[in-house]
Structure 1
Amino acid sequence: MTVSLGPLLLVFMLGLVVTPPTLAQNDPRYKKFLTQHYDAKPKGRDDRYCDSVMRKRGLTSPCKDLNTFVHGSTDGIKAVCGTGGNPYGNNLRISISQFQVTICKHRGGSPRPPCRYRASKGFRHIVVACENGLPVHLDESFFS
Structure 2
Amino acid sequence: ETMYQRFLREHVDSTGTGGNSSYCKKMMQEREMTRPRCKRFNTFIHEDIGTIKNICKTPQIPCKNGKMNCHEGEVRVTDCRLTARFRGNCRYQGRGSSRRVVIACQGKLPVHFDNYL
Q: TM-score, normalising length from structure 2?
A: 0.86
Unaligned runs of 5+ in 2: none
Aligned match for 1:94, one of 72, 82, 87: 72
1:125 aligns with 2:100: yes
Matches of 1:88 and 1:143 in 2, distance apart? 16
1:1-144 paired onto structure 2 within 5 Å: 28-42=2-16, 44-61=18-35, 62-82=37-57, 85-89=58-62, 90-91=67-68, 92-95=70-73, 98-109=74-85, 113-139=88-114, 142-144=115-117
Aligned equivalents of 2:15, 2:46: Cα separation in 1: 7
Q: Which has the higher contact order (CA 8 A, sep 6+)?
A: 2
Deviation at 1:86, TM superposition (A): 2.4
Higher strand share: 2
Is the helix fraction higher in 1 or 2? 1
Structure 1: segments with no counterpart, 5+ residues: 1-26
- Structure 1 residue 43 displacement after superposition: 5.2
Q: Distance in 2 between matches of 1:125 and 1:43?
A: 17
Rounded to whole Å, the distance in 1 between the matches of 2:42 and 2:25 is: 11
RMSD: 1.6
- Work out which of the two has the higher radius of gyration on C-alpha atoms and give 1 or 2: 1
CA contact (8 A) 2:43 2:80 kept: yes
Amino acid at match of 1:93: H
Aligned amino acid, residue 86 of structure 1 = P
Number of residues of Structure 1 aligned to a counterpart in Structure 2:
111
Show structure 1 runs of 4+ deviating over 3 A. Answer: none
Q: Percent identity?
A: 32
Q: Distance in 2 between matches of 1:35 and 1:57?
A: 6
Normalising by structure 1, we get a TM-score of 0.71
